[in-house]
Amino acid sequence: MDKYYITTAIDYVNGAPHIGHAYEKILTDIIARHYSQRTDNLFFLTGTDEHGIKIQKTAASKGITPKELCDENAQKFKAAWKALDINYNKFIRTTDEDHKKIVQKIFQKLKDKGAIYKHEYEGWYCSGCECFLNPKDLTEDGLCPDHMKKPDIVKEENYFFKLSAYKDAIIKHIKDNPDFIVPSFRATEVINQLEDIQDISVSRSKENVGWGIDILDDPEQSIYVWIDALSNYITAIGYNPDGESDEQFKKLWPVDVHVIGKDILKFHSIYWIGILMALELPLPKHIFAHGWITIDETKMSKSLGNVVSPTSVLENFELEYPDAFRYYMATSAPCGRDGNYSDNDFKEKVNAHLANSMGNLLNRTLSMLVKYFDGEVKEEFFVTKSPEKVSGSLSLIKESAGKIKVVENHFNHFEIAEAAQEIMSIVDSANKYVTDNAPWTLAKEEKMTECGQVLTTVLEVMCVISSLIYPYCPNIAREMAKQLSYDITKKLEDITTDEIKPGKLISKEDIKPVFLRVDSELADKSVKK
């Protein structure tokens, strides 16, 4: 692959990050880390959305300026992503000066070509959605279906983007590219929304919304959220509507995937696509709309008091690294569906998968290698180079090698949980292979070549597993690779089934669990120290 450009939605900084924000960033980071194993030119963008009436009102209630509120909360998002090992290349803030200047130019370009016009409008405005709603989209009680609040009647003279002019072209693009919107069942929803799409307001009166980007030739108006926020995907990489864009933009655009929540799919698959068409820019290759995360099967709500901070999970379980939480969140739901978080399920899943199955497999295999062979791997132990003396050795190695392409294919379709299931299926196969062949019994019977072949076969498979699990659990994967003397930085296409080298592999003092059960005494940091 020549490049891979991936983005998250930019988070609104009206409050602190919660587990829903974390879910999206973890999914995106896992996709990005996977593709870093397939290309040297990967770019991962995230950031914060910092303009609008909600920020203006919250700042006023706190007695601080909107910029001070944005600075305070943007730092909370950055700190959370650092704690979760979110390895982005750039964190954009819509209050960045270079972003604001390019947004003004984008707005002016669209205005100059007639794609934006001024118009007096009266309609139902939801401050939560930051958009005007069609009356038919309201509930029977006249409420916004997402925020369950009654929108305000707003009458203003605003600038409007001619979205309706691009309706047919957007419908055609979606129908001609069945993998454009992922999962595919969401495309039907978008096409239905397009049937009666109207032009959209892209500015607000300064009198009503003072916290925004000024329109160059009309300082009485603020550029509204959609052109401001959505344009971050191109301003962050050097787009310039007035002249030559940066080389980075030319190399990275079009984006390979926008990772977003299903609640903002309309804005990305309709509004953003219309804006890009008006700017005559290539369209995104994919838009991946993930589901929501509930807490103990209940939707998160401040009034219910069940909003979970992602870092609180790490603190509550005294996790030194975020790998277990990352793995759990990534496997909480099939592609595009809703998922759930609960403390009990978290403990059960990560203990079963990461400690009991994967971690214990490596630990006991290396321990037996030290016990029976002083940590040495002999030439005759390699079934790819010597006759197979233990049934199932070659088939297990072939299965693990074949899973690389299977996992890649799942990632091609943004099936992150499904890819993890495939990785764990290799772990299960390797555990069954050990149980079936009982190397401890082979050693007792003095069948040392057969015993060594079983252990070495498992260690070869563990090299493949460490590479495949790396995007989910980077710290665990690195520790696995270290004990295997394996190069975890290998590209997936370069992985072979002969990664273990003959000779001394490990000593007893270098063997340690790669993941401790979260409910064990040993998992306590003070005990580990």
Return d(Cα 45, Cα 66) in angstroms, integer. Answer: 24
Q: % helix / strand / coil in the chain, to the nearest 5?
A: 50, 15, 35
Confidence at residue 301, expressed as pLDDT on a 0 to 100 scale: 64
> How many CA atoms does the CB half-sphere of 214 hold within 13 Å?
6
| Residue 21 annotated as catalytic | yes
Q: Which of 70, 131, 144, 473 is catalytic?
A: 144
Look at the pTM and tell me if it is higher than 0.75: yes
Q: Which of 113, 118, 149, 299 is catalytic?
A: 299
In 3D space, the residue among 272, 300, 294, 299 whose CA is nearest the CA of residue 284 turns out to be 272
What values do phi and psi take at 295, rounded to 5?
-115, 115
- CA-CA distances (angstroms) from residue 512 to 301, 355, 402, 479? 41, 12, 29, 9
Is residue 528's pLDDT more than 70?
no
What SS3 string covers 103-151?
A: HHHHHHHHHHCCCEEEEEEEEEEECCCCEEECHHHCCCCCCCCCCCCCC
Confidence at residue 471, expressed as pLDDT on a 0 to 100 scale: 98
**Choice among 117-131, 189-203, 335-349, 411-425 with the minimum mean pLDDT:** 117-131
Confidence at residue 520, expressed as pLDDT on a 0 to 100 scale: 56
Return d(Cα 474, Cα 458) in angstroms, integer. Answer: 21
pLDDT band at 525 (very low <50, low <70, confident <90, very high): very low
| Residue 126 annotated as catalytic | yes
**DSSP annotation of 271:** I
Return d(Cα 339, Cα 480) in angstroms, integer. Answer: 29
In 3D space, the residue among 176, 177, 174, 170 whose CA is nearest the CA of residue 200 turns out to be 170
Confidence at residue 303, expressed as pLDDT on a 0 to 100 scale: 57
Q: 42-49 and 376-377: which strand pairing? A: unpaired
Q: 218-223 and 257-261: which strand pairing? A: unpaired
Mean pLDDT of the region 152-163: 88
Confidence at residue 304, expressed as pLDDT on a 0 to 100 scale: 60
Confidence at residue 308, expressed as pLDDT on a 0 to 100 scale: 83
Q: Tell me what percent of the residues of the chain surpass a pLDDT of 70.
A: 96
CA angle 334, 339, 342 (to 5 degrees): 135
Is residue 40's pLDDT more than 80?
yes
Strand partners, 201: 160
Q: Which of 136, 302, 525, 529 is catalytic?
A: 302
> How many CA atoms does the CB half-sphere of 280 hold within 13 Å?
5
What values do phi and psi take at 447, rounded to 5?
-95, 70
Q: Which of 67, 118, 147, 172 is catalytic?
A: 147
Q: What is the mean pLDDT of the chain?
A: 93
Q: Per-residue DSSP letters for 136-190? A: GGS-TTS--TTT-SPPEEEEEEEEEE-GGGGHHHHHHHHHH-TTSEESTHHHHHH
| Residue 173 annotated as catalytic | no
| Residue 144 annotated as catalytic | yes
Return d(Cα 120, Cα 134) in angstroms, integer. Answer: 16
| Residue 410 annotated as catalytic | no
Reduce the DSSP state of residue 4 to 3 states and report it: strand
pLDDT band at 402 (very low <50, low <70, confident <90, very high): very high
CA angle 461, 465, 470 (to 5 degrees): 155
**Choice among 105-119, 140-154, 259-273, 336-350 with the minimum mean pLDDT:** 140-154
Is residue 137's pLDDT more than 90?
no
Q: Is the peptide bond before 254 cis (omega within 30 degrees of 0)?
A: yes
Angle between helix 19-36 and helix 66-83 axes, rounded to 10 deg: 60
- CA-CA distances (angstroms) from residue 376 to 162, 435, 460, 501? 70, 22, 14, 10
Type of residue found at 474:
P
| Residue 129 annotated as catalytic | yes
| Residue 131 annotated as catalytic | no
Per residue in 179-223, pLDDT (tens digit) is: 999 999 999 999 999 998 999 989 988 988 889 999 999 989 999
Q: Is the separation of the CB atoms in 240 and 105 below 8 Å? A: yes
pLDDT band at 237 (very low <50, low <70, confident <90, very high): very high
Sort 496 into a burial class: Cβ within 10 Å, 0-12 / 13-18 / 19+.
exposed
Type of residue found at 375:
G
Confidence at residue 136, expressed as pLDDT on a 0 to 100 scale: 75
Residue 304 Rama label (left phi>0; alpha psi -120 to 50; beta): alpha
In 3D space, the residue among 176, 166, 390 whose CA is nearest the CA of residue 280 turns out to be 166
Mean pLDDT of the region 368-381: 97
Mean pLDDT of the region 344-371: 96
Q: Which of 126, 451, 463, 473 is catalytic?
A: 126
Is residue 338's pLDDT more than 60?
yes
| Residue 258 annotated as catalytic | no
Q: Which of 70, 99, 129, 268 is catalytic?
A: 129
Confidence at residue 132, expressed as pLDDT on a 0 to 100 scale: 73
Q: Tell me what percent of the residues of the chain surpass a pLDDT of 90.
A: 80
Is residue 527's pLDDT more than 50?
no
In 3D space, the residue among 348, 311, 323 whose CA is nearest the CA of residue 19 turns out to be 311
Classify domain 343-528 by CATH architecture. Orthogonal Bundle (1.10)
Return d(Cα 441, Cα 508) in angstroms, integer. Answer: 21
Per residue in 491-521, pLDDT (tens digit) is: 999 999 899 999 999 999 999 999 999 875 4
CA angle 446, 449, 450 (to 5 degrees): 85
Per residue in 438-496, pLDDT (tens digit) is: 999 999 999 999 999 999 999 999 999 999 999 999 999 999 999 999 999 999 999 99
